[in-house]
């Protein structure tokens, strides 16, 4: 593998992302016919680990473990938190990092993908029937406000 190639290969990630999308569409089709099960699915989505939560948890655990082991076994263990924090900075700057690519290849969804399914299920359930009809320029503004609401809901 050349230095410019990434691991896992982009084709693997692309294939997995298509599988994730297909699985979500199948879920939505199923719950469109089984409205009574939507509440349970929403609870499952609340518990589903996302790429972001796994990265945060693993990075925190690696940092704490590395610092503790450096006290017990030697300073060389400080490389563990350095590497973990390097990946955190890489993710912050680039929006991706090697551990994220590995998680994606394993089929772990992003928070945005989980939220997309959540709000599609709420739409199927009829949660948004009370929203007023809008047209023209108001649509863009309404979509922007809804996007902001979704982002704040997930935060």
Residuewise pLDDT in 10s, the chain (155 residues): 454 556 677 888 888 889 999 999 999 899 988 989 999 999 999 999 999 999 999 999 999 999 999 999 999 999 999 999 999 999 989 988 889 989 988 899 999 999 999 988 888 888 877 766 656 566 566 666 766 776 666 55
Whether the pTM exceeds 0.85: the reply is no
CA 109 to chain centre: 5
- Tell me the C-alpha distance between 135 and 139, whole Å: 6
Q: Report the pLDDT value the prediction gives residue 132, as an integer from 0 to 100.
A: 66
DSSP string, 47-100: H---HHHHHHHHHHHHHHHHHHHHHHH-GGGGHHHHHHHHHHHHHHHHS--HHH
């Amino acid at each position: 593998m050349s230095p410019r190639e990434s691991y896992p290969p982009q084709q693997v990630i692309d294939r997995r992302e298509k599988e994730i999308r297909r699985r979500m569409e199948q879920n939505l089709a199923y719950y469109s016919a089984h409205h009574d099960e939507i509440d349970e699915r929403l609870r499952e989505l609340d518990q589903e680990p996302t790429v972001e939560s796994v990265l945060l948890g693993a990075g925190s655990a690696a940092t704490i473990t590395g610092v503790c082991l450096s006290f017990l076994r030697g300073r060389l263990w400080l490389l563990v938190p350095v590497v973990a924090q390097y990946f955190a900075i890489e993710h912050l700057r680039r929006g991706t990092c090697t551990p994220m690519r590995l998680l994606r290849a394993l089929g772990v969804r992003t928070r945005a993908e989980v939220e997309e399914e959540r709000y599609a299920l709420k739409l199927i359930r009829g949660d948004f029937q009370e929203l007023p009809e809008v047209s023209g320029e108001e649509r863009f503004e309404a979509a922007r406000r809804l996007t902001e609401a979704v982002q704040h809901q997930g935060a």
